Amino acid sequence: MVTASYAFFEALVEAGVTHCFVNLGSDHPSIIEALITLKRENKGPEVVMVALSMADGYARRTGKPQCVLVHVDVGTQGLGAAVHNASCGRAPVLIFAGLSPFTIEGEMRGSRTEYIHWIQDVPNQGDIVRQYCRYAAEIKTGKNIKQMVNRALQWATSAPAGPVYLYSAREVMEEEMDDYDLVQEHWNPVEPAALSESSVAMISEALVNAKEPLIITGYSGRNHKSVGALVELADTVKGLRVLDAGGSDMCFPADHRAWLGLRYGIDKAITTADVILVIDCDVPWINTLCHPSKSAKIFHIDVDPLKQQMPVFYLAALSRYRADSYTSLTQLTQYIKNANDFVITLSSQTYTERWEALAKDHTKRLETIAAASKVLEDDSFGTGYLCQQLRKIVPADTIFAIEAVTNTVFVADNIQPTLPGSWINCGGGGLGWSGGGALGIKLASEIENGKGKGKFVVQIVGDGSYLFSVPGSVYWICQRYGIPVLTIVLNNKGWNAPRRSLLLVHPDGIGSRSTNEDLNLSFAPHVPDYAGIAKAASGGGVMAEKVSKASELQGVLLKAVECVKGGTTAVVDAIVVSGC
């Protein structure tokens, strides 16, 4: 005989879940008993004391869902922006929360034993997060608990991937039952979909015959094979350019001549392209600021082309397809290469000249970026220069966890990622992701490569987002579990995103003539000691540095990188000039 809680964790392990990120509470006595029992039997998942952002980062690195345990309604509410991020970022995660016991007089094991059990008894706990989840359900008996877990994991890992939520009362999780097994091969996710033959032909013809073909992507690089597939298509259709309008993943390498970089829905190429293929992108352009020509032919390939969780979304596309990016890109390239008419067309002098023009444009683009990322006369520096120097110092296969908000474009322009999986942004709007996210990414890399052999991980985060990330918990976790990362805090002394939003709507309003202090967007004059917060949270174990002069930057970065390579987290508070 086993308990339902034991069977729950057994189901997770059998399904390939290796870690539980937990915040335990009064709803978890049987959970704790089961974890200890499984640990003694060497059968349980690893338990890490944090929650959703860390599981999100782990899943983003590996594509494998992990488990998050939270405490009844309040723990579910505590997921907050993190569950929004996991949903928008399509991170597969299984969340489990207990319910307050439903018996009060000892009728069943697990009946109410504490004052708080009355206070935390709410009518519809699942509704707190249901709109962000691919699936939400109550476990009502232990007798089918493994089926419930595996159904939830199927939803979490089938495109579009995302969080799922299971919840159950103490009495149910205490239920004793006969142990049983499932045939795990029967619980795989839905297979990726492909384009129809006619669709492949139509899109291929449009791309080959276009004068200015453009691909706009956002998260196609989530599948690392999609990066190579997109490169092959760009090499085949000479003159095709690729714009990243999401910044969620490394979708196209910066060292390719077709690279246009990361721009959030605003770029000249969008306005001049005569054929646009949108692949796995939520916001390819912002209509009020930039939009395609009315004569442009637009096609949309996406795992979620209708954006089912967005009440308002539409593109003026000729056709839209629910299909997998890697599969679709491979289909298009193979079709074009095997069509004699296309081969002859693409071998012409016109396409050779287009290919050469791309190289010149790419060189000029890189020169423009470098010229804009210079040290200022007073020895201060901006985000661009900082990232330019950082890129030279860190290992070539570094993974960057990015939450730079208004500085993101400067970061992307100067980091210039080229390796699949080397750039990860949460994909959502809930600031504070990157603290736990970076830890999850690093932990996953250590599991993949062995303790102490994981990839070097750098978190680049705005100062406001850093405060949202709950650094007190993040850097205690770093120290407690030995997860070394390098954190770069972009300290521009306040919240610049609200000011930008204001100016986009009221460019000449009274707010445009007000200072950040007037708008209550500035942290000055009492700017937090960001590195000091991390050092205190880690009990003094974290290396903490602050730098404001370009002449001192390289030395600080070198010291921090060596510190992290040695197994200790480092936090650099970098005072940056805005706008460069």
Per residue in 188-214, pLDDT tens? 999 999 999 999 999 999 999 999 999
Residue 123 · residue 100 · CB < 8 Å: no
Q: Does the pLDDT value for residue 241 go beyond 70?
A: yes
Q: What is the mean pLDDT of residues 92-103?
A: 96
Q: Is residue 452 part of a domain?
A: yes
Beta bridge partners of 262: 244
Tell me: do 166 and 210 sit in the same domain.
Answer: no
Report the CATH number that the domain containing residue 331 is assigned in CATH.
3.40.50.1220
Q: Does the pLDDT value for residue 49 go beyond 50?
A: no
Tell me: do 277 and 334 sit in the same domain.
Answer: yes
pLDDT value of residue 472? 93
Tell me: do 164 and 203 sit in the same domain.
Answer: no
H/E element, 570: strand 570-575
In angstroms, the CA 336 to CA 553 distance is: 49
- Residue 546, classed as helix, strand or coil, is strand
Q: Tell which of 156, 187, 218 closes a domain.
A: 187
**Burial class of residue 239 (count of CB atoms within 10 Å of its CB; 0-12, 13-18, 19+):** buried
**β-pair type (423-425, 457-462):** unpaired
Tell me: do 29 and 87 sit in the same domain.
Answer: yes
Per residue in 216-230, pLDDT tens? 999 999 999 999 999
Tokens linked to 202: 């139509």
Q: Does the pLDDT value for residue 560 go beyond 50?
A: yes
45-56 CB burial, b ≥16 within 10 A, e <16: bebbebbbbbbb
User: Which range is least confidently modeled, 36-40, 289-293, 532-536?
Assistant: 36-40
Q: Is the peptide bond before 192 cis (omega within 30 degrees of 0)?
A: no
Q: Is residue 540 part of a domain?
A: yes
- Residue 460, classed as helix, strand or coil, is strand
Per residue in 469-505, pLDDT tens? 999 999 999 999 999 999 999 998 766 667 667 667 7
Q: What is the mean pLDDT of residues 256-265?
A: 96
Structure confidence at residue 25 as a pLDDT band (50, 70, 90): confident
Q: Tell which of 342, 367, 392 closes a domain.
A: 367
pLDDT value of residue 113? 94
What percentage of the chain carries pLDDT values higher than 70? 94
Report the CATH number that the domain containing residue 119 is assigned in CATH.
3.40.50.970
Q: Is residue 276 part of a domain?
A: yes
493: DSSP letter: S
- Which of the two residues, 466 and 517, has the higher pLDDT score? 466
Q: How many Å separate Cα 518 from the centre of its chain?
A: 34
Tell me: do 384 and 524 sit in the same domain.
Answer: yes
Across 286-382, the runs of DSSP E, i.e. the strands, are 297-302, 319-322
What is the pLDDT of the chain when averaged over all its residues? Answer: 93
Rg (CA), the chain: 25
Q: Is residue 580 part of a domain?
A: no
Q: What is the mean pLDDT of residues 248-264?
A: 97
Q: Is residue 168 part of a domain?
A: yes
Tell me: do 180 and 260 sit in the same domain.
Answer: no
pLDDT value of residue 355? 97
Q: Is residue 318 part of a domain?
A: yes
Per residue in 10-20, pLDDT tens? 999 999 999 99
pTM summary value:
0.94
312: DSSP letter: S
Number of other residues whose CB lies within 10 A of the CB of residue 474: 30
Tell me: do 390 and 346 sit in the same domain.
Answer: no
In angstroms, the CA 103 to CA 98 distance is: 14
pLDDT value of residue 221? 97
In angstroms, the CA 500 to CA 519 distance is: 12
Structure confidence at residue 24 as a pLDDT band (50, 70, 90): confident
Tokens linked to 221: 């690089």
User: Which range is least confidently modeled, 24-38, 61-75, 317-331, 425-439?
Assistant: 24-38
pLDDT value of residue 445? 96
Tell me: do 246 and 162 sit in the same domain.
Answer: no
Tell me: do 349 and 379 sit in the same domain.
Answer: no
Tell me: do 18 and 46 sit in the same domain.
Answer: yes
Tell me: do 378 and 525 sit in the same domain.
Answer: yes
Q: Is residue 240 part of a domain?
A: yes
Q: Is residue 192 part of a domain?
A: no
Q: How many Å separate Cα 507 from the centre of its chain?
A: 32
Tell me: do 224 and 93 sit in the same domain.
Answer: no
In angstroms, the CA 316 to CA 297 distance is: 9
Domain that includes residue 401, residue range: 373-575
Number of other residues whose CB lies within 10 A of the CB of residue 163: 33
- 3-state SS track over 178-213: CCCCCCHHHHCCCCCCCCCHHHHHHHHHHHHHCCCE
Tokens linked to 405: 């908000």
In angstroms, the CA 121 to CA 169 distance is: 10
Domain count, the chain: 3
CA 430, 432, 436, 440 torsion-angle sign: positive
Closest Cα to residue 296, out of 199, 197, 207, 361?
A: 207
Per residue in 324-366, pLDDT tens? 999 999 999 999 999 999 999 999 999 999 999 999 999 999 9
What percentage of the chain carries pLDDT values higher than 90? 86
Q: Tell which of 125, 159, 187 closes a domain.
A: 187
286-323 CB burial, b ≥16 within 10 A, e <16: eeeebbbeeebbbbbbbbbbeeeeeeeeebebebbbeb
Q: Does the pLDDT value for residue 263 go beyond 60?
A: yes
In angstroms, the CA 445 to CA 46 distance is: 15
